[in-house]
């Protein structure tokens, strides 16, 4: 028996259905169901019955639940001792994030958490979505904030299953071509892929994976790709050259370069290029207090995306 299984039973009793309990625990429904089945196999009897309206505890299950709740109360008492002496939220939190929102949403969230819980040791790492999947799987990061474009979403389900990760959607966003004031396309509202990719293309750090690179090269096999590893240098290059780049709206939503009209988004004509930003973490491992608090704060930092 595992402590997590006791927490699962308590959540089932509180919320009444597997779906609601799984949502509150930040795990998938299949993972929760599997954990309950394993507990039942170990005990040798049925703990809950599944019905159309939810779950019902068996007579023996009620006894298991009572012992589980007693254990959880004891654990909570120990945690409250930590709170009493001002030691709550003093653990570590390692978060990885894609470069697009590293300097805005994520950095702001970690700064707010550090201010609220100064004893928490936080570490923030910037990397590509695929690299973050590996790092979370290897437990080098607690959480990862990734981006999945609609043109490659089919690959992500396989990756989550392979690396045993849970995924929680945060918000959807739109991908645009971005140009500076001096660019010949600046006065346009939209652009075709082939026309946009006649100009040098800027990629920020290592965010341009092989899939997207190959898609861009289909429109221009001789595409001049320039990688820039510094955010301010990228914007300066964009403002002063005829280069072009692709970024989601969230990257520059609150940035002066966009608000002052120094750079401008162009809608892509041929197809809808969208992206989804989400949180990844290890499956079957309930989030710690620090991780849950970060996730809650993060959701509050995305005001315009959920409108």
Greatest Cα pair distance in the chain: 74
Nearest-angstrom CA–CA distance, 250 and 197: 22
Name the helix (H) or strand (E) containing 292: helix 289-300
Contacts of 252 (CB under 8 A, 6+ apart): 178, 258, 263, 265
Asked if 185 and 234 sit in the same domain, the reply is yes
Q: What is the pLDDT of residues 110-123, one digit of tens each?
A: 888 888 888 788 88
**CB 206: neighbour CB atoms within 10 A?**
14
Tokens of 306: 């959920």
**pLDDT over 90 (residue 84):** no
With beta carbons less than 8 A apart as the criterion, state whether 305 and 171 touch: yes
Provide the 3-class DSSP secondary structure of residue 260: coil
Which candidate, 266, 73, 56, 304, places its Cα nearest to that of 172? Answer: 304
- Of the given ranges (13-27, 70-84, 250-264), which has the lowest mean pLDDT? 70-84
Radius of gyration of the chain, Cα coordinates, nearest whole angstrom: 23
- As for how many domains the chain has, the answer is 2
**CB 45: neighbour CB atoms within 10 A?**
11
- DSSP annotation of 113 reads H
Average pLDDT over residues 223-246: 92
Q: What are phi and psi of 149, to 5 degrees?
A: -80, 155
Nearest-angstrom CA–CA distance, 199 and 180: 12
Asked if 94 and 76 sit in the same domain, the reply is no
217 or 156, greater pLDDT: 217
- Of the given ranges (3-17, 21-35, 193-207), which has the lowest mean pLDDT? 21-35
Distances (CA, A) of 12 to 7, 128, 186, 263, 286: 9, 36, 55, 51, 15
pLDDT-derived band of residue 79, with 50, 70 and 90 as boundaries? low
Domain CATH for 72: 1.10.10.10
Packing angle, helices 129-137 and 153-162, rounded to 10: 10
Asked if 24 and 96 sit in the same domain, the reply is no
Asked if 176 and 201 sit in the same domain, the reply is yes
pLDDT-derived band of residue 107, with 50, 70 and 90 as boundaries? confident
Asked if 45 and 174 sit in the same domain, the reply is no
Asked if 277 and 136 sit in the same domain, the reply is yes
Q: Tokens 């652009």 belong to which residue?
A: 191
Nearest-angstrom CA–CA distance, 94 and 117: 15
Structural domain span for residue 55: 3-84
Asked if 39 and 101 sit in the same domain, the reply is no
Asked if 239 and 209 sit in the same domain, the reply is yes
pTM: 0.69
Q: What is the pLDDT of residues 274-284, one digit of tens each?
A: 999 999 999 87
Q: Tokens 């929680």 belong to which residue?
A: 168
Asked if 49 and 14 sit in the same domain, the reply is yes
pLDDT-derived band of residue 95, with 50, 70 and 90 as boundaries? very high
Q: Which of 84, 111, 132 is the last residue of a domain?
A: 84
Q: What are phi and psi of 253, to 5 degrees?
A: -55, -40
Asked if 211 and 105 sit in the same domain, the reply is yes
With beta carbons less than 8 A apart as the criterion, state whether 101 and 247 touch: no
Q: Which of 34, 55, 84 is the last residue of a domain?
A: 84
Nearest-angstrom CA–CA distance, 100 and 207: 9
With beta carbons less than 8 A apart as the criterion, state whether 115 and 67 touch: no
**CB 200: neighbour CB atoms within 10 A?**
15
Domain CATH for 116: 3.40.190.290
Asked if 272 and 161 sit in the same domain, the reply is yes
Q: How many Å separate Cα 1 from the centre of its chain?
A: 30
Cα distance from N-terminal residue to C-terminal residue, the chain: 43
Asked if 109 and 248 sit in the same domain, the reply is yes
Which candidate, 255, 242, 269, 282, places its Cα nearest to that of 138? Answer: 282
């Amino acid at each position: 028996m595992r402590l997590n299984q006791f927490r699962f039973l308590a959540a089932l009793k509180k919320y009444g259905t597997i779906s609601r309990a799984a949502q509150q625990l930040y795990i998938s429904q299949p993972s929760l169901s599997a954990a309950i089945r394993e507990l039942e196999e170990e005990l040798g009897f049925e703990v809950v019955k599944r019905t159309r309206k939810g779950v019902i505890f068996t007579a023996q299950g009620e006894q298991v639940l009572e012992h589980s709740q007693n254990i959880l109360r004891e654990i909570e008492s120990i945690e409250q001792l930590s709170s009493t002496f001002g030691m709550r939220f003093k653990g570590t939190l390692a978060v990885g994030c894609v470069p697009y929102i590293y300097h805005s949403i994520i950095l702001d969230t970690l700064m707010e958490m550090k201010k609220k819980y100064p004893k928490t040791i936080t570490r923030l790492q910037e990397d590509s979505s695929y690299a973050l999947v590996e790092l979370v799987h290897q437990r080098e990061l607690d959480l990862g904030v990734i981006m999945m474009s609609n043109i490659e979403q089919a690959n992500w389900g396989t990756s989550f299953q392979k690396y045993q990760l849970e995924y929680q959607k945060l918000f959807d966003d739109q991908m645009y071509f971005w140009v500076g004031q001096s660019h010949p396309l600046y006065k346009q509202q939209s652009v075709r892929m082939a026309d946009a990719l006649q100009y040098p293309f800027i990629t920020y750090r290592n965010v341009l994976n092989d899939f997207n690179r190959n898609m861009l090269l289909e429109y221009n096999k001789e595409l001049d790709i320039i990688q820039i590893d510094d955010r301010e240098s990228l914007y300066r290059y964009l403002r002063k050259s005829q280069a072009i780049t692709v970024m989601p709206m969230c990257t520059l939503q609150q940035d002066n370069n966009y608000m002052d009209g120094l750079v401008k988004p162009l809608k892509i004509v041929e197809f809808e290029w969208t992206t989804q930003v989400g949180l990844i973490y290890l499956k079957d491992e309930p989030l710690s207090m620090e991780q849950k608090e970060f996730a809650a704060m993060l959701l509050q930092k995305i005001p315009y995306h959920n409108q």
